[in-house]
Structure formats: C-alpha cells, structure tokens
C-alpha cells in the first residue's frame, strides 16, 4: 500500500465511528424526547440543538487552520460529545429542559468538528495531487453515507433489546473510539494553505458571496434543501406511529435514508457527473422535490422505507453537486472559507427545518412535508425560473470565470 492509501485507511477508521454517532444522534434525540413525553414542538427543538451550533463552523475552521496539531482539538471534541450526551440523557430522564438543552448544544458544537472539521483535514493526508484528493473526498463522502445508515440502524437494533436511554448511551460511546483513532492520523499542517485560508477574512468572504451570482444560487439551493430534508428524521417517528409500527420503526426509516445516501455516493464514484454544476443543481433539485412528494404520498411502512431510500439517493447526488458548485465558482484564495460558510448555512437551515417540522407535526402529520416541498420549490423558482431573477443559464460559464 502507498503512503496515501495508508493515510486514507487511517482516516476511514477514525471518520466512520465519528459519522456513525453523529448520524444516529438526531433520531436518538427524538426517541429520547418521545419517551420523556415531550410534544412534537419540544422534540424538534431538542433535535435542532444538535445542529444550531454549526452556524459557527467558519470560526471552528479558522481555529483548526491556526493550530499546529489539529488532532487534539478533534479528539477533545469527540470525548466532549460523549460526556455531554450522557448529561443530556440524564436531563431527559429527570425531565429537565435546562439539563437537556445545554448539553445538546455542546454536542452540536462538537459534532461540527466531528463532521466538517474532520473533513477539512482529509486533503492534508494525500498532498496536492488532484487525483488522490478527489479519491480521498469520495471516500469521505462514503463515511457520511455509512454514518447515516449505521447510526440510525444501530439505534434501532439497540432499542429493540434495551431501554432507549441505555441504547443511546451505548451509541454515543462510539465517539470515544473515534476520538482515540483520530490521534493516529498523520496530520501535517501545510503552511502555505493555512496562510491562504487565513488571508480570507470574514468580511472578504461575505463580499465574495454577495458579488457572485453562482455562489448565491448555490447558497440558496443548499439552504433550501437542507431545511426541507431536515423534516425527514423528525417526521419518521410520527409516520411510523401512524402506520402502527413499533417505536424503532422511525429509526429504520432514517436508516433507509442513510442506505440511500450510501448508494448515491457509490453511484457517483462509479459514474461521476460532468455537466455544469448549477445546471445539475437545478435538475437534481427538481428531482429531490419529487422524492419529497413521494414521501408525503406514502401510505404504508414499506412504501415509506422505499421513499426514504430514494430521498437518500437523490440527496447524495445533490450534496455532491453543491460541493462541485462551491469548488467551481469560488475564487482560489477563499475556497476553503466559502466551503465552511455554505456548510454553516446548510446546517443552520437544517436546524431551523427540524424545529419547524417539530412545531408543525402536532398540527397535522403531513404539514411538515408540505412545508418542506414549498420551501424547496420557492428556492428552485427564485434561483432558476423567475424572469429577471438571479439566474441565467446562458451566463453560467462567464459568471464562473468572473469569480475566479
């Protein structure tokens, strides 16, 4: 095995358990909330606590770039995630909102390092070769698919045999393993890249986003899709209950979504896309809207599993398209920071979407899905269809060249 292959193997060993625990955290939180007798609004708020701190992702990224050894920050985040989630579980058990919300917010901050923070380090393991970098990023995408699959599945299997609180404690202990394995990563800081990232100040990144039409469209579509898809793990538990399934049925639906994401990632590795990024963003976004409609029309657990799987496949492709758009239309001197800002917007709107879904699910079961489809439709129309709006297909290539 080459040095790059060994480095990627070490990365996978650390990233997979990290993504498993973050992938199962949302559905685990919803199950804990339901077992504590919380209503849908409160359950959605609990789930939103895991994603809201991601809005500070750009600051976390600059922090990682500024230290000589990011492994200790990443390991500390994993261990703090485990400890905080144990406190949150105790808060659920004694029905204390304060002792539940605060630890979950800390978990949300830590998960930002375990997800995007860890992903920012992957290019340092393979050097500057573009082929090796693309391969490493493809493997990283697979870890997210595995996390969204194994995390909820592990939660569901544990809940079948143990109490919900015990099951979640076992699930979150995976973070300890991830933290220890991170210490073995051969992360060497690249001084030139670090300096390049540092040169892109917050004000300059905001200016770039404001001036670039393609980046604005990427930001809008990423945010709209994140808001819409955030309803799926929240609604899954309630849909499962409406179909007279057991408590872990919702976890199996989220697992099916994760399997779909994994399948989508594999498809992309076998058949990478080559079209214009924003053209793909429009087309795949429209397909994603159709898959949400299929979920809303599902009337049985089996159909629900299939529709969640389909959503996962399309979302994996959509996610890859947004990554391509961030890379294609961002100027080289600020590409990393723009990546983090778009990621922060994505997770922030996902947090808002989870909260809104929890708020609306008590009004009507289908209302969160209808709202999700409406938001995604508006994003598509504003970005691509409104005459005189912010998008012109024929200007795509010139706009991309202007931002560079």
Query: What is the C-alpha to C-alpha distance for residues 224 and 149, in angstroms, rounded to an integer?
Result: 23
Q: What is the pLDDT of residue 28?
A: 93
Same structural domain, 54 and 180:
yes
Both 303 and 183 in one domain: the answer is: no
Distance (Å) of CA 163 to CA 103, 160, 233, 247: 21, 8, 20, 11
> Which residue among 141, 171, 199 closes a domain?
199
Both 346 and 226 in a single domain?
Answer: yes
Residue at a domain's end among 199, 234, 252: 199
Q: Provide the pLDDT for residue 337.
A: 67
CA-nearest of 358, 378, 377, 328 to 33 is 358
Q: In this structure, are 215 and 135 located in the same domain?
A: no
pTM of the predicted model, to two decimals? Answer: 0.74
DSSP state of 382: I
- The per-residue pLDDT for 197 is 44
Q: What pLDDT, on the 0 to 100 scale, is given for residue 130?
A: 59
Judgement on whether residues 183 and 166 belong to the same structural domain of the protein = yes
Give, for 146, the enclosing helix (H) or strand (E): helix 130-161
Question: Same domain, yes or no, for 194 and 324?
Answer: no
pLDDT for 14? 95
Torsion on CA atoms 38, 91, 154, 301, rounded to nearest 10: 0
pLDDT at position 335, please?
60
Residues 170 and 222 in one domain: no
> What's the confidence (pLDDT) of residue 291?
96
Residue where one domain finishes, among candidates 199, 233, 261: 199
- Non-local CB neighbours of 379 within 8 Å, separated by 6+ positions: 220, 221, 223, 224, 225, 285
Per-residue pLDDT at 131: 62
CA distance 253 to 33: 18
In a shared domain, residues 224 and 352: yes
Contact 27, 237 (CB under 8 A): yes
> Same domain for 81 and 172?
yes
User: What CATH number should be reported for the domain holding residue 165?
Assistant: 1.20.1250.20
pLDDT confidence of residue 225: 95
Per-residue model confidence (pLDDT) at position 404: 47
Eight-state DSSP code of residue 211: H
Residues 6+ apart with CB under 8 A from 348: 51, 52, 54, 55, 223
Query: For residue 275, what are the domain limits?
Result: 200-404
In this prediction, residue 309 carries a pLDDT of 95
pLDDT at 246 (0 to 100): 74
**What proportions of the chain, in percent to the nearest 5, are helix, strand and coil?**
85, 0, 15
Q: What are the per-10-residue average pLDDT scores of the chain (404 residues)?
A: 86 95 92 88 86 79 74 94 96 92 95 85 73 71 84 89 94 96 77 46 71 85 94 89 80 87 83 79 94 94 94 89 74 65 82 87 91 95 72 48 46
pLDDT at 136: 74
Number of folded domains in the chain? 2
Question: Which residues, in sequence order, are CB contacts of 360 under 8 Å at separation 6+?
Answer: 40, 367, 368, 371
């Amino acid at each position: 095995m080459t040095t790059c292959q060994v480095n990627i193997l070490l990365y996978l060993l650390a990233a997979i358990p990290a993504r498993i625990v973050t992938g199962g955290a949302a559905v685990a939180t919803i199950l804990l909330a339901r077992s504590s007798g919380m209503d849908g609004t409160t359950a959605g708020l609990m789930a939103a606590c895991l994603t809201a701190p991601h809005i500070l992702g750009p600051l976390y990224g600059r922090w990682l770039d500024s230290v000589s050894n990011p492994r200790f920050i990443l390991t500390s985040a994993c261990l703090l995630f485990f400890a905080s989630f144990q406190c949150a579980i105790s808060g659920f058990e004694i029905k204390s909102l304060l002792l539940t919300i605060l630890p979950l917010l800390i978990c949300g901050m830590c998960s930002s390092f375990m997800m995007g923070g860890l992903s920012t380090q992957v290019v340092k393991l393979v050097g500057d070769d573009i082929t090796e970098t693309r391969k490493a990023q493809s493997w990283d995408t697979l870890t997210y698919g595995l996390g969204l699959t194994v995390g909820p599945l592990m939660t569901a299997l544990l809940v079948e045999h143990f109490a919900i609180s015990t099951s979640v404690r076992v699930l979150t202990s995976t973070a300890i393993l991830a933290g220890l394995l991170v210490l073995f990563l051969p992360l060497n800081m690249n001084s030139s890249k670090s300096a390049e990232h540092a040169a892109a100040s917050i004000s300059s990144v905001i200016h770039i986003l404001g001036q670039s039409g393609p980046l604005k469209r990427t930001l809008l579509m990423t945010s709209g899709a994140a808001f819409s898809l955030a309803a799926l793990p929240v609604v899954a538990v309630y849909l499962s209950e409406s179909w007279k399934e057991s408590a872990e049925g919702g976890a199996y639906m989220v697992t099916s979504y994760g399997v779909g994401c994994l399948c989508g990632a594999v498809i992309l590795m076998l058949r990478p896309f080559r079209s214009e990024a924003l053209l793909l963003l429009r087309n795949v976004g429209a397909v994603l809207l159709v898959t949400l409609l299929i979920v809303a029309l599902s009337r049985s657990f089996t159909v629900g599993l299939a529709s969640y799987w389909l959503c996962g496949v399309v979302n994996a492709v959509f996610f890859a398209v947004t990554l391509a758009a961030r890379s294609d239309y961002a100027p080289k001197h600020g590409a990393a920071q723009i990546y983090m800002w778009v990621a922060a917007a994505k997770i922030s709107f996902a947090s808002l979407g989870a909260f809104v879904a929890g708020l609306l699910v008590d009004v009507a079961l289908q209302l969160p899905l209808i709202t999700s489809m409406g938001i995604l439709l508006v994003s598509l129309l504003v970005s691509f269809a409104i005459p005189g709006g912010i998008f012109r297909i024929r200007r795509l290539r010139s706009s991309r060249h202007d931002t560079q």
